[in-house]
Structure 1
């Protein structure tokens, strides 16, 4: 098997941590791959936002955002809110321009029905960031009903194709599933070389991309059902993840963050106008109201 596909380097952003590189050289590919969530190539003072944080946010993220408090699309059992969490859509982020130094969007872009707005909003609120999605090849042979896009990194340019249906490669999918059923070892091989089937894309200042079929209508996409996640990870893995978040997150800093200074009103677009009274938020510019309970800011 060849080395994983190269990620186009962005000046100042090392693709992998030193531990990841050494583990890969020693043959521990799966372990190296799992450590990518601990790798965020920014300084300690950088303010980091994670989009679509779900039930397993990156430890380094200071502020989280998710569109749904409960959704069957999430494979984790519950939404994590151990630091400021904003409930809002990625296509219309409720943050002021340039509020963050870095934004992470891992396995979120492929869910979007409006990738132009999604990517535009990321570049508006952050100076740089990291995107991770299934590779278009993997999405074609192993599609998900709630994935709307196929994404490829062509040497520093994201090429995005809107899916005409959730399962555009029907015959290929049937062959792939039959292969998995006959040869379970094939699945283990795919898990070991997961990086070869994943787009990992760093960007700075702007996100270079092209939509190959902008006129494609995504009318086949159903509304996201509300409900608990599938709780795919076992209890030991969830405990390990919680422990790593506790050890590696900037817990003290996150608790002290002035989140209201980062927000803008989704109605009038004015920044810094939110006022809080108990669990009620009100925009001083247009009287738009929202709510806040603990770390959770509900702006939808």
Structure 2
């Protein structure tokens, strides 16, 4: 997780829930989850990097399911879980919309977290120009991620919604599309670096189909103006 400020609330909810599913629970697992689903097997889980190391582990080999999150249906009944936890998975997978639909189907409530779109266009290394000139292109955001993720708005009634925009190699081609540490003048804060969303009932997801280069440039302009306030 990036948003450690959300951990106390997450742990409190998970402690009080009868069934908790950790989607993608192999790396940095939630010990309070009662079930987990991941492509990797239970025996190889990274338990030493658990998010809640002081808690008893509730997942067992029997409640660990090896399954591709982008294949529906997941092997659980509707609303089987009281809570579902999905941290730093949606930005990676090929079909995050399907993952959101399945989370909404199998769980009554949940928490999702991804890097913010701002963090995905930010290079945290100092000396960007020198590094680019002599050592190759520094990493901008996280090079292996497929999606920018942003919060959406469902109108006055509220609700949980995520917007997904394809993250492509075009980001590296034009300085007008990404942010350097010199431009910002500092590191990003925790709150600026992550997107965390608690939801109940369901979570909606939508892919944005836009002119990607123009959208990338427009996002940087708005982001930089906000950071300079």
TM-score range (shorter-chain normalised) is: 0.5 to 0.7
Which position in structure 2 is the counterpart of 1:149?
A: 147
Calculate the TM-score normalised by the size of structure 2.
Answer: 0.62
**Residues of 1 paired with 2:178 and 2:207: CA distance?**
27
Asked which structure has the greater CA Rg, the reply is 1
**Alignment CA distance shift 1:110-1:31 (3 Å):** closer
Query: Does 2:201 match 1:205?
Result: yes
Question: Contact 1:51 / 1:105 at 8 angstroms: preserved in 2?
Answer: yes
Which position in structure 2 is the counterpart of 1:194?
A: 190
Q: Whose relative contact order is higher, 1 or 2, with alpha carbons under 8 Å and at least 6 apart?
A: 1
Unaligned runs of at least 5 residues, structure 1: 1-29, 71-77, 217-300
Query: Does 2:104 match 1:123?
Result: yes
Give the aligned CA root-mean-square deviation in angstroms: 3.4
Q: Secondary structure at the match of 1:201?
A: strand
**Residues of 2 paired with 1:34 and 1:129: CA distance?**
13
Select 2:28's aligned residue among 35, 38, 56. Answer: 56
**Residues of 1 paired with 2:6 and 2:83: CA distance?**
21
Question: How many angstroms does 1:194 deviate by?
Answer: 0.9
Please list the CA deviations of residues 135-169 of structure 1 after superposition, one character each: whole Å capped at 9, or x if unmatched: 11211223323211111113543121122x24625
**Residues of 2 paired with 1:32 and 1:108: CA distance?**
17
Q: Secondary structure at the match of 1:110?
A: coil
Which position in structure 1 is the counterpart of 2:37?
A: 65
Unaligned runs of at least 5 residues, structure 2: 48-56, 123-139, 154-159, 213-229
Query: Does 2:162 match 1:158?
Result: yes
Please list the CA deviations of residues 192-222 of structure 1 after superposition, one character each: whole Å capped at 9, or x if unmatched: x2122211112222212321129x9xxxxxx
Query: Does 2:108 match 1:104?
Result: no
Please list the CA deviations of residues 92-133 of structure 1 after superposition, one character each: whole Å capped at 9, or x if unmatched: 222222221110001110011112211111111111111000
Question: Contact 1:159 / 1:210 at 8 angstroms: preserved in 2?
Answer: yes
Question: How many angstroms does 1:43 deviate by?
Answer: 5.9
**Residues of 2 paired with 1:213 and 1:125: CA distance?**
28
Q: Secondary structure at the match of 1:33?
A: helix
**Alignment CA distance shift 1:122-1:40 (3 Å):** farther
Question: How many angstroms does 1:32 deviate by?
Answer: 5.8
**Residues of 2 paired with 1:140 and 1:205: CA distance?**
32
**Residues of 2 paired with 1:168 and 1:113: CA distance?**
19
